[in-house]
Amino acid sequence: MTRQVTIALAQHDCVLGDKDANLAKIERYLRQAADLSADLVVFPELGTTGYRQDLLGDKLHSLAESAEGPASQRIGKLAAELGLWVVLPLIEASSVAGVAYNSVVLIDRNGEVVGSYRKNHAYSTEGRYFAPGREMPVFNTDFGRLGIMICYDMGLPETARVLTLQGAELIVVPSAWCQEDEDIWDINIACRALENRCFLAAVNRVGTEGETLTMHGKSKIAGPRGQTLAEGARFAEDLVVGTVDLDDVVPARDEIPYLRSRRPWSYGPLTDLRL
């Protein structure tokens, strides 16, 4: 098993509510990434549908589908053709009518859905439209152990730490991050990578939805010191590609042993529901 992985972050705009148009763009980015010898391609939060739940209205539920539904099957077919791992965002339908999740699915090189991650932490009004996820899975790949967060999850340090303690060496973060919080974007990426001595790849949307949301892009791949290894354009579509060696994680964790220095018996307030 090779420990090097070439990551492609597809920083793109979306057409709100037009799944076919967005999937066609995703397919174009997959072909570009394959031409650049990518192993893993990551797309922005809700990149198959657009982000603004309030503007989608009743259409939100008609756009929802299962983790192994038509979007995953369509992209899985191309993933198998190109030999790519894909992190694909979608509105995931629940088995309960009227309940949906802000999710991503992980598709392997054979085009099969390995699993899904449902966003755990709702930002602003998201909780009106999406049920929260309850699990933080880590996935085995042919290059290493992969964890996934979605956008605002990155602002809760517990999320990345739980993924790390379950073995994640690389964490990817599909996002629709607003330009007003660009400074927080930079800080969160660096902090989560440094604290966990892992690689972190965060892809951000560009474009506007409605009159109040503009997303600034600037997708990044960060190393175990929190350093920026690759960075995308601001306010423009881009394909950010970088190669990392997951064998660098062990020496990084030896150099600054945050994980060995933990004292879990002192951390009771972290799970005190009275706070």
Q: Which residues are catalytic?
A: 45, 119, 151
Structure tokens at 233: 């354009």
Structure tokens at 50: 């657009």
Please give the Cα distance from 217 to 12 (Å, whole number): 8
Q: Which residue has the tokens 């073995």?
A: 167
One-letter amino acid at 249 equals V
Per DSSP, 39 falls in state: S
CA dist., res. 254 & res. 229, Å (int):
21
175 has which bridge partners? 204
- Exposure b/e, 161-170, CB count within 10 A at least 16 = b: bbbbeeebbb
Alpha-carbon span 42 to 203, nearest angstrom: 7
